[in-house]
């Protein structure tokens, strides 16, 4: 069952039509998906404690209800490793329309995947797995299944990718943790079945997968227009 907290996030986002990234990540973490350590801050002084705890480098992203595709507009800065750079990012982002603070996150490494969902008119909830990043629609290396998924489905989705060797360890790189990836996709599939009435589509892109773990680095939840959550 969808938690009360998750329902509130959906209800608060309905006018905007999509869920702000920090709230989307909170909703995902409630469903058992790994998200990076992050703080959502409104002033530049605040991230200090967070940076002290996890250390540089970090990623900074603008939070704005008017910006669904933030990386297309230069709203993401990666590899920030000094206070000065963080301040510069903050200064830049404050100029964005609808500025509502910045998200400071730990830097992640690994293979970039996309895990997505779409509520299909004919088939209902569908899950997508593919090679992620900003080039997803260029490479189009994806596999699709009808949810809910079982473990075998996930295995066959991974096998169907052209870039499968990248996940299994290619030319000396370590294989990604397929067990963790499977758990994440299964948890996501369960979540999507519960969100069916509320959402239109979801992009978890990129999901950073390494030998240790898989973490959702960015999330976009687009809500259904016609039906409104209670």
Partner 1 sequence: MDLQTLFEPKTVGVIGVSLKNDRHPANVIYNKNHLRYPVKVFPVNPRGGMLRGERVFTHISEIPQKIDLAVIATRAEQCPEILAECIQAGVRSAAVISGGFTETGRNDLQDRIAVIAREAEFPFIGPNCLGIYSPDHVDTFFLPTERMVRPEKGGVAIVSQSGGILVDQLIKFAEEGIGLSRAVSIGNKALITELDLLGFLANDHKTSVIAFYLEGFGKREGREFVLAASKCPKPVIVLKGGKSPGGSKAVSSHTASLAGDYESFSAVLSQYGIVEAKNEFEMVCFCESLSCYQKSIEGKIGIVSGSGGHGALAVDACFKRDLPVPTLSEQTVKEIRESLSPSVQLIASLGNPIDLTGSGVDDDFVAAVTSLSRAPEIDCIMVLLLPYLPGITSDLGARLSQIHQQEGKPLVAYVPHVEKYRMLIEGFELNRVPVAHSVEGAVQMVEAMRRCRSC
| Residues at the contact surface with partner 1, assessed by CB under 8 A | 18, 68, 114, 116-118, 120-124, 126, 128, 130, 136-137, 140, 142-146, 153, 156, 200-203, 205, 220, 222
> Rounded to the nearest whole angstrom, what is the least distance from the CB of residue 44 to partner 1 in the complex?
31
**Phi (first) and psi of residue 158, to 5 degrees:** -65, -45
Q: What span, in angstroms and rounded, lies between the C-alpha atoms of 128 and 157?
A: 8
Residue closer to partner 1 (CB basis): 30 or 126 = 126
Using alpha carbons only, what angle is made at residue 32 by residues 215 and 99, rounded to the nearest 5 degrees? Answer: 60
Return the number of the residue (19 or 77) whose C-beta is nearest partner 1: 19
SS (H, E, C) 162-219: CCHHHHHCCCCCCCCCHHHHHHHHHHHHHHHHHHCCCEEEEEEEEEEECCCCEEECCE
13 versus 58: smaller Cβ distance to partner 1: 13
Cα–Cα distance list, 215 to 138, 147, 205, 206 (Å): 23, 21, 10, 9
Give the nearest distance from C-beta 137 to partner 1 in angstroms: 6
Q: Choose between 107 and 222: whose C-beta lies nearer to partner 1.
A: 222
116 three-class SS: strand
Distance of closest approach, residue 202 Cβ to partner 1, in angstroms: 7
Nearer to partner 1, 86 or 189 (CB): 189
- CB of residue 127 to partner 1, shortest distance in Å: 9
Residue with tokens 């699709």: 144
CB 47 to partner 1: min, Å = 29
């Amino acid at each position: 069952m969808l938690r009360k907290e998750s329902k509130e996030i959906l209800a608060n986002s309905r006018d905007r039509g999509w869920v702000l990234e920090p709230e989307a990540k909170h909703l995902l973490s409630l469903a058992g998906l790994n998200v990076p350590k992050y703080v959502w801050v409104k002033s530049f002084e605040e991230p200090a404690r967070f940076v002290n705890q996890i250390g540089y480098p970090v990623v900074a992203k603008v939070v704005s209800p008017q910006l669904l595709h933030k990386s297309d507009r230069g709203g993401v800065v990666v590899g920030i490793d000094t206070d000065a750079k963080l301040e510069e990012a903050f200064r830049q982002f404050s100029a964005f329309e609808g500025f509502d603070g910045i998200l400071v996150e730990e830097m992640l490494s690994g293979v970039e995947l996309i895990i997505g969902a779409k509520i299909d008119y004919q088939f209902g909830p569908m899950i997508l797995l593919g090679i992620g990043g900003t080039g997803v629609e260029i490479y189009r290396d994806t596999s699709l299944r009808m949810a809910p998924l079982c473990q075998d489905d996930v295995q066959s989705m991974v096998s169907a990718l052209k870039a499968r060797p990248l996940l299994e360890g290619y030319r000396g790189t370590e294989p990604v943790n397929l067990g963790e990836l499977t758990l994440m996709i299964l948890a996501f599939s369960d979540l999507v079945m519960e969100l069916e009435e509320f959402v239109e589509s979801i992009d978890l892109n990129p999901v950073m997968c390494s030998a240790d773990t898989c973490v959702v680095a960015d999330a976009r939840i687009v809500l259904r227009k016609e039906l409104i959550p209670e």
